[in-house]
A and B are shown apart, each in its own frame.
Chain A
């Protein structure tokens, strides 16, 4: 079962929720898809067992074969190619690795070469397999890293918690597209609610079952909760605003491993999801 944890904005508690959901499970994989700033490993402090490089394909031009027809330059919708001084210039940062230029070249003057854009670190922390995607600084897109992170390295019966990047852009879609359930983490502000509405729209579009965890709850009106009630969205958990929790988190502690109160909160959330997904699977068949 794959559970993706997402939120419209950063800092709402995606990592708090996903790290703790993985920690209260019998056995789980935690996959950090927030490749621009992965921070789940700061909590798990995994023993790294394996590091692999993530590479993308970049066109390489054979100038001896190139006749300057410019078919590749005209084809590239990302404008990653230009024809200057009788040769094709490749702008690697703009290239989306689609391979189209290679296909349209009538002279077979284009081949592909590998360009590393980041890495994946795999390790273990107690009963949790920790997979961290790391995008090299300055690279434009982490989507290839997310693809490699989520590529069939997990078995069907295994519990996988996906810590998605913030927002609702391509990289978030890539992170959640095969998820069985999405947890939307929201904070009690108007801004947070606006961002919740964006990811809500996204998961509706993907037709993935979902529920909301309200984080940083205070004893006052919660616009995110009102939004959930107005839209008949299932609230699957509430975490109160707490200085102790903030202090523990800032020390890199996994709260459910040290505080029974949080262990219960996250266990209940996980049980709820497992039950709901189980039900969804049965009702579908």
Chain B
């Protein structure tokens, strides 16, 4: 199973990033062989629709599970549409949350926010 988490840096002890769509990297932990890989999130620099582009990257990564503190509506439409499971992280520690998820301690993410899009700019 491949578990994906938005993170701040490209190291396995990094923190969970508070933003899903604008996280600089995504960490993928593979439970089969206990390996880590990192994907650069090119959507982080996107002027608009970052959540949509980020969700596309996440869906294309072939991960089955997303652990994140929060997720916007557009991104959730894509991720849930691709049948990925989404769980809410409990604290900033990547390692803690992977372990908690594997122990069945994480709850599915239920609050999907409408997005933090800037208004009026267009």
Using CB atoms and an 8 Å cutoff, list the residues of chain A in contact with chain B: 36, 73, 76-85, 89, 91, 94, 96, 140-141, 143, 167, 169-171
Binding site for A on B (CB under 8 A): 43, 46-50, 52-53, 55-56, 59, 74, 77-78, 81-83, 117, 120-122
- Which residues of chain A have C-beta atoms less than 8 A from B46's C-beta? 79
* Shortest CB distance B84–A (Å): 10
**Which one of A79, A96, A141, A167 contacts B53 once the chains associate, using CB atoms below 8 Å?**
A79
B120 touches A94 (CB 8 A): no
Q: Are the CB atoms of A89 and B78 closer together than 8 Å?
A: yes
5 cross-chain CB contacts under 8 A: A78-B48, A80-B49, A82-B55, A82-B56, A89-B78
Dominant SS among interface residues on chain A: loop
Given A79-B43, A94-B48, A94-B74, A171 and B122 contact (CB-CB distance below 8 Å): yes
Q: Is the CB of B52 within 8 A of A80?
A: yes
Write the nearest CB–CB distance from A8 to chain B, whole angstroms: 13
Docked CA distance A79–B55 (Å): 11
Q: Is the CB of A73 within 8 A of B56?
A: yes
- Shortest Cβ distance from residue A62 to the other chain B in the assembled complex, whole angstroms: 19
Name B59's contact: one of A78, A84, A140 (CB within 8 Å): A84
- Are B81 and A89 within 8 A (Cβ)? yes
Contact B82 A85 (CB under 8 A): yes
- Rounded to whole angstroms, the CA-CA distance of A76 and B53 in the bound complex is 10
Contacts of A85 in B (CB 8 A): 81-83
What residues of B have a CB within 8 angstroms of the CB of A141 in the complex?
122
A79 partner, pick from B52, B77, B83, beta carbons under 8 A: B52
Which residues in A have their C-beta under 8 angstroms from that of B47?
Answer: 77
Q: Which of B56, B59, B117 has the most CB atoms of chain A within a 10 A radius of its CB?
A: B56
Given contacts A89-B81, A91-B74, A94-B74, contact A82 B120 (CB under 8 A): no
A76–B50 Cα distance when bound, in Å, is 12
Q: Which residues of B contact A73 (CB under 8 A)?
A: 56
CA distance A170 to B43 in the complex (A): 23
Interface pair A84/B49, CB less than 8 Å apart: no
* Closest Cβ–Cβ distance, residue A232 to chain B (whole Å): 31
Which residues of chain A are near B77, meaning CB under 8 Å? 89, 91
In addition to A76-B49, A83-B56, A94-B74, 18 A-B residue pairs with Cβ atoms within 8 Å of each other are: A77-B47, A79-B49, A80-B52, A81-B52, A82-B55, A82-B59, A84-B82, A85-B81, A85-B82, A89-B78, A89-B81, A91-B74, A140-B117, A140-B122, A167-B120, A169-B120, A170-B121, A170-B122
Residues in chain B near residue A89, CB distance under 8 A: 77-78, 81
The docked-state distance in angstroms from the alpha carbon of A23 to that of B2 is 68
Hey, which chain A residues are within 8 Å of B55, CB to CB? 82
**Alpha-carbon distance between A152 and B48 when the two chains are bound, in angstroms:** 32
What are the nearest 5 A-B pairs in CB distance?
A79-B49, A79-B53, A141-B122, A79-B52, A84-B81
CA distance A81 to B59 in the complex (A): 14
A171 to B121, CA, bound (A): 9
User: Which residues of the other chain, B, contact A170 by a CB distance below 8 angstroms?
Assistant: 121-122
Select from chain B the residue with minimum beta-carbon distance to A96.
B122
In the assembled complex, the Cα of A80 lies from the Cα of B77 at a distance in Å of 13
Q: Determine how close the nearest CB of chain B comes to the CB of A107; give it in whole angstroms.
A: 20
Distance to closest chain B CB from A258 (angstroms): 35
Cross-chain contact of A82 among B50, B52, B83 (Cβ < 8 A): B52
A91 to B55, CA, bound (A): 13
The reply to whether A91 and B122 form a contact with Cβ atoms under 8 Å apart is: no
For B121, the chain A residues whose CB sits under 8 A away are 169-170
Kindly list chain A residues whose C-beta atoms are within 8 Å of the C-beta of B83.
85
Chain A residues with Cβ below 8 Å from B82 are 84-85
Q: Residue on B with the closest CB to A79?
A: B49
